[in-house]
Chain A
């Protein structure tokens, strides 16, 4: 009888020790909070590194815009509504539309120019001023994500309905230069694209209502 009792006591005490050991291994909320803290610290450090990396500013900049005032060595300039003041450097060069060198006196208010500048000792020097035709420098390419509503394989024309504007229909024209690829850059033919397919279209502004397509990226 005594032996049995001691055996029960032994089992009971053994169970108590094991239960307490399991309890100690269970992760506590404090451990989770500590892990969370470490992750946040890492993220903050990453962001700080990114920010410090962005602070390195290239002293060489080029601005496309219009001369608003030119007086001696001072050049006032407007680029997309932003006003700039430059000091024309003594060794600055000036180039016209035909790529010929011109004099500073050939520069006039209202001329469209590309100004290549260098920032030095908190002054921005205009080092090179090129007269340009801004219409030739514009990026005339458009990007549209949409679904093919209709397709004509005989005329290489299809109708695209943009995802962000269902009421609009874009008539697109594919030619021999049009690049047709999958998202993974696998080449396709025009006959591979189907009605209802979701695509990204890169196109230019056509002379009529049909837009010439430069690239098609299929998404499904």
Chain B
């Protein structure tokens, strides 16, 4: 039977510790290198687009601008009512979309309105209509003082059309 004296125990313990430290060190280095490689693989190739105000001109929608174009018109779109609609009530709500926080100006034969679009560019305004044909003018002015404009025709008629 082998008997271990005090110095042998010491040496054995040191050998175990050294073995463990080397083992941990090598394993750690291996995992560190592997993780770095995985991160490089998973990182998507993100291309940050240049921020430019949206252009209302549909012909330019698919074009790519290499430099920011701050002189483009702010978006202006009316969701309701549609152009040439007949409306049977003396009031209607103009709902539309423009650039974020744009100033919207609506002129009707009866009154002139102004309001601000919200952060998403949405706006809504109740307007009064004159009996018959109403030519509405809608303008949007964005934070860069760029203007866009459109005309909308609606007819207020209480006559039965069926």
Distance (Å) between the CB of A88 and the closest chain B CB? 14
A146 to chain B: closest residue by CB: B145
Residues of B within 8 A of A137 (CB): 132-133, 135
Distance (Å) between the CB of B80 and the closest chain A CB? 8
Kindly state the interface size class of chain A when it binds its partner: 35 or more
A141-B107, A145-B141, A145-B147 known; A114 vs B132 contact (CB < 8 Å): yes
Contact (Cβ within 8 A) B107 A202: yes
Contact (Cβ within 8 A) A29 B141: no
B157 to chain A: closest residue by CB: A116
B82 CB-CB contact with A under 8 Å? yes
CB proximity to B under 8 Å, residues A104-160: 114, 116, 118, 127-128, 130, 132, 137-139, 141, 143, 145
Residues 127-162 of chain B, each 1 if its beta carbon lies under 8 Å from chain A, else 0:
000001101110101000101010101110101011
A116-B161, A128-B159 known; A200 vs B42 contact (CB < 8 Å): no
Contact (Cβ within 8 A) B82 A62: no
Residues of A within 8 A of B154 (CB): 62
Contact (Cβ within 8 A) A141 B133: no
Identify the A interface with B (CB < 8 A).
1-2, 5, 8-9, 12, 16, 23, 28-30, 33, 50, 53-54, 57-58, 60-64, 114, 116, 118, 127-128, 130, 132, 137-139, 141, 143, 145, 163-164, 179, 181, 183, 185, 198, 200, 202, 214-215, 217, 219
